[in-house]
Structure 1
Amino acid sequence: MSSTGLEGRSVVVTGAGSGIGRAAALGFAREGAKVVVADLRRDGAEETVEAIEADGGAARAVVGDLSDQGVVDEVVGTALETFGGLDVLVNNAGIMDRLSAVGDTDDAEWERVVRVNLTAPFLLTRAALPHMLEAGGGAIVFTASEASLRGSAAGAAYTASKHGVVGLVKSLAVMYRDKGIRANAIAPGGTATAIQVEAEPGAHGPGVVGAYAGNIGRISTAEEQAAGILFLASDAASNINGVVLPVDNGWAAV
């Protein structure tokens, strides 16, 4: 039996087609959990499902844009119908901005980043909550960022979206702690993933942020970030609620 208490639990992981999300999905499956793999990219989601099933685990893929309410409903419905409930939600999917300063951030960049990084997790959490409350509890883990702790790690849109994620975590923790719901986040530092930064050459924002790049320290693996997610979702963290856990080799301490 798993010492984490995750065995047999129904877990949703977003952005699970690659990077931290895939590492987390694989980690949950190794602990005996049943995993809904949600991602925008079909090939990535299916590859993660195949890897879990090849190792004897149970997983299902849901493909689509998680800021679309219909996709959100499909994700939650798949967990309920296929695995009998929804015990753990991992709001991991996210995108970077162009490191743009406020004065250089156009409407499209702002709206896209906030929609993916903040609105989509809100929609999915809202859809999952009634089922967790009916079951008597659940764990929700968000992937925040070092940019949720400071202003020097990304552009205006990404920084604001990840600060918003922290606010959402804390609100959930306060509002639902007496209902058996725990909400926490990891705050990754520099991590080796496929996430891309398409900075505008010569723009003000990238030049300023770049000056702080030396504080990042060692680049972590996706598996190291996933370990933080699994811990916060597990019974080992049963009295941890409303916490933002830096997984950053001490960057937050600089």
Structure 2
Amino acid sequence: MTSPDLSGRIVVVTGASRGIGWNAAIALGAAGAHVIAIAKTVGALEELDDAIQAKGGSATLVPLDLRDLDAIDRLGLSIYERWGKLDGFFGNAALLGVITPVTHLDQKDWNDVMTVNVTANYRLIRSLDPLLRLSDAGRALFMTSSVATNLRPFWGAYATSKAALEALVRTYAAEVATTPIRVNLFDPGRLRTQMRAKAAPGEDPATIQHPSVVAPDIVRMLAPDFADHGTRFEFPTRSITRLLD
């Protein structure tokens, strides 16, 4: 797959310190985008910056806990003051939470999952939408999961959060349908990430694909010439589901 030319594009990536976010940020930088990398861990962000520069890219590092919702509002203002627009937003950050019966879920664990996986993305949309509208081709892509629809026991918090995220993203996509912004969902399937290791501790990681395999498709879906809107892309089967009437 030939990587699009994203020279001059400004792209936000959340959860950029590891896994899918890390690999997507490197690929976006290599394609020419300036990456605004968001994660909690400063050291990991600094390592990411080195990796992006090694591929000829550039990044701005934003150490941010997405549970700090007011900081998300300040993020939008800071981006506007420095660049005057935003071309892409990859909403990747998520918490798995605790795999346990719904009746055993602790309120704090529930709140954390909902805040990071749903509320933070609502606040990011609210903060970044005005900037995406200033781009000639704003693109927003959100990471989802099969458990949003294929429910399984003990995954109540995570599954509920992803179902809610999908409803949020579909609504936002419908609201911007008449603008140049394109909004889509991305289901990566099983990949060799820390979240997957926590969810399935007995699984042999050697049998699962590395998260770098999805990076080219993420870059493609954030590129200005990507025209699909209101879709859910499933990486394992490469199938596309249309979500808007």
TM-score of Structure 1 vs Structure 2, range by shorter chain: 0.7 to 0.9
Q: How many residues align?
A: 237
How far 1:227 sits from its partner (Å)?
A: 2.4
Which residues in structure 2 correspond to 1:1-254 (within 5 Å)?
4-152=4-152, 155-195=155-195, 219-238=208-227, 240-248=228-236
More helix by share: 1
Contact 1:113 1:161 in 2 (8 A): yes
How far 1:154 sits from its partner (Å)?
A: 6.2
Q: Compute the TM-score of the two structures, normalised by the length of structure 2.
A: 0.86
Give the aligned residue type for 2:234. P
How far 1:145 sits from its partner (Å)?
A: 1.1
Which is worse superposed, 72-81 or 122-131?
Answer: 72-81
Give the equivalent residue in structure 1 for 2:243.
Answer: none
Contact 1:10 1:34 in 2 (8 A): yes
Give the equivalent residue in structure 2 for 1:202.
Answer: none
CA gap 1:38/1:53 in 2 versus in 1, 3 angstroms: same
Structure 1 residue ranges without an equivalent (≥5):
200-205
Give the aligned residue type for 2:91. N
Give the aligned residue type for 2:43. D
CA gap 1:196/1:224 in 2 versus in 1, 3 angstroms: closer
Q: Distance in 1 between matches of 2:133 and 2:113?
A: 30
Match of 1:195, SS? helix
Q: Distance in 1 between matches of 2:150 and 2:79?
A: 35
How far 1:7 sits from its partner (Å)?
A: 1.9
Q: Compute the TM-score of the two structures, normalised by the length of structure 1.
A: 0.83
Give the aligned residue type for 1:223. S
